[in-house]
């Protein structure tokens, strides 16, 4: 199937026919024909469908993520100079959409996106996820309840992305966040420009750099944890130990042996993996050499799965080598920055001539006259 063409056709259909098309696709792909918005009472009663251990785990992780991400608040910068003021002011997005895969519900991904959004000051958060038998995973509803999210819709796939971007059955959002399958990723790519997106998430990746001090059990367990995501997942082991390489040989793992840890780091920087583990004797010595990675986990007690759940760092990360230019999800992704300037007369007159000359070079006569008119 041509995913790009099919996605374009579905998005066009939804844009043209609106809710009628949305309901047809929900019936076809999710076998659901009821109201798409989850009623408030269903959200309110979500904790009654969960056991105390589940509730405690979610509460704990929300607090961990909140603690770590709270350090990212407010990057407004203003400075004054000769009676003038310049800088950047930061403002939260007003309305965002969070996509949560419905096939394998991922409550942790909702936490990782919704918590920093709330810290940023986003007022309106929309959650979309495909129903299973008409129902939404109680853990997702409980997280929404904890974070004061009341707008949840039973839709998934291309149609969910289209609904958020074009405002079908809801008000349109300003930016869409969250991973999905190839169709969801393509839909996000195609609506970019109409709305913002967090990125184009691909299959999971793990790269482990390990020396002779690494415990093979840890290495093998961590590699397997990411291969668990699916057949397209990628795993690399870069090591200076031929014995470790021999012991950890497994299907789906690309093992490379190098003479030095510096060579391992250089190789990892070329891979630009989603997750990079440093299972070496002195990981702090290597961290400054890492240039390209979505996230770095150092030492034997910072495995990637712990980062996925309770370390507090974000697990929504760039994949497919995009870590060379992209970053982990942060509070700042839910904000925008506005450039501001107040120029006093003395400062303006001091630099006016330079501005007028540049306007002349560019053939912008009206620009020059705007500056020339002030004295």
Bridge-partner residues for 127, per DSSP? 98, 152
**Average confidence (pLDDT) over 62-67:** 98
Band (pLDDT 50/70/90 cuts) for residue 239 is very high
pLDDT at 17 over 90: yes
Summarised one tens digit per residue, pLDDT across range 157-202 is 999 999 999 999 999 999 999 999 999 999 999 999 999 999 998 9
The domain locations on the chain are 3-197, 205-325, 343-372
What was the pLDDT predicted at 240?
Answer: 98
Range 106-140 burial, b when 16+ CB lie within 10 A, else e? bbbbbbbbbbbbbbbbbebbbbbbbbbeeebbbbb
Bridge-partner residues for 153, per DSSP? 37, 128
**Average confidence (pLDDT) over 216-220:** 97
pLDDT at 330 over 90: yes
Residue labelled with tokens 């974070």: 147
What's domain 205-325's superfamily in CATH? Answer: Nitrogenase molybdenum iron protein domain (3.40.50.1980)
What was the pLDDT predicted at 73?
Answer: 85
What was the pLDDT predicted at 272?
Answer: 98
CB atoms within 10 A of CB 44: 12
Chain-centre distance of CA 294, in angstroms?
A: 10
pLDDT at 50 over 80: yes
Band (pLDDT 50/70/90 cuts) for residue 13 is very high
Do the domains 3-197 and 205-325 sit in the same CATH topology, yes or no?
yes
Q: Which residues contact 66 (CB under 8 A, 6 or more apart)?
A: 115, 119
pLDDT at 104 over 80: no
Rounded-to-integer distance, Cα 72 and Cα 258, Å = 37
Summarised one tens digit per residue, pLDDT across range 331-346 is 999 999 999 999 999 9
pLDDT at 135 over 80: yes
- Enter the pTM of the model: 0.93
**Average confidence (pLDDT) over 66-86:** 91
pLDDT at 132 over 80: yes
Q: Is 229 a catalytic residue?
A: no
Q: Which of 69, 137, 151, 275 is catalytic?
A: 275
CATH-assigned architecture of domain 3-197: 3-Layer(aba) Sandwich (3.40)
Give the β-pairing of 335-342 and 84-92: antiparallel
Nearest C-alpha neighbor of 155 from the set 8, 28, 325, 303: 28
What was the pLDDT predicted at 140?
Answer: 97
What was the pLDDT predicted at 75?
Answer: 79
What was the pLDDT predicted at 55?
Answer: 98
pLDDT at 116 over 80: yes
Q: Is 274 a catalytic residue?
A: yes
Q: Which of 137, 274, 277, 315 is catalytic?
A: 274
Instruction: Kindly report the average pLDDT of the chain as a whole number.
Output: 96
What was the pLDDT predicted at 74?
Answer: 77
């Amino acid at each position: 199937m041509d995913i790009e063409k099919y996605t374009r056709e579905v998005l066009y259909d939804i844009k043209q026919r609106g809710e009628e098309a949305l309901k047809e696709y929900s019936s076809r792909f999710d076998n659901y024909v009821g109201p798409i918005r989850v009623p408030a009472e269903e959200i309110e009663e979500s904790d009654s469908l969960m056991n105390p251990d589940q509730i405690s785990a979610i509460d704990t992780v929300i607090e961990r993520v909140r603690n770590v991400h709270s350090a990212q608040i407010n990057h407004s910068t203003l400075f004054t100079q000769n009676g003038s003021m310049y800088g950047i002011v930061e403002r939260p997005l007003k309305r965002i959409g969070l996509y949560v895969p419905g096939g394998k519900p991922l409550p942790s991904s909702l936490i990782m996106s919704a918590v920093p959004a709330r810290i940023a000051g986003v007022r309106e958060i929309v959650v979309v996820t495909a129903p299973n038998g008409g129902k939404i995973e109680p853990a997702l509803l409980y997280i929404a309840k904890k974070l004061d999210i009341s707008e949840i819709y039973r839709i998934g796939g291309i149609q969910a992305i289209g609904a958020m971007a074009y405002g079908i059955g809801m008000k349109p959002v300003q930016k869409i966040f969250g991973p999905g399958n190839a169709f969801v990723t393509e839909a996000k790519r195609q609506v970019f420009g109409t709305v913002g997106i967090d990125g184009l998430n691909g299959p999971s990746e793990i790269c482990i750099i390990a020396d002779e001090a690494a415990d093979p059990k840890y290495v093998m367990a961590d590699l397997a944890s990411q291969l668990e995501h699916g057949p397209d997942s990628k795993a690399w082991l870069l090591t200076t130990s031929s014995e470790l390489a021999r012991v950890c040989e497994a299907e789906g793992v690309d093992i490379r042996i190098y003479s030095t840890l510096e060579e391992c780091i250089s190789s990892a920087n070329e891979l630009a993996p989603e997750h990079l583990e440093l299972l070496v004797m002195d990981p702090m010595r290597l961290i400054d050499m890492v240039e390209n990675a979505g996230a770095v986990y150092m030492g034997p007690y910072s495995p990637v799965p712990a980062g996925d759940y309770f370390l507090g760092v974000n697990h929504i990360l760039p994949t497919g080598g995009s870590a060379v230019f992209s970053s982990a999800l942060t509070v700042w992704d839910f904000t925008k920055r506005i450039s501001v300037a107040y120029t006093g007369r003395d400062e303006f007159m001091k630099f006016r001539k330079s501005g007028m000359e540049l306007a002349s070079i560019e053939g912008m006569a009206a620009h020059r006259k705007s500056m020339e008119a002030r004295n």
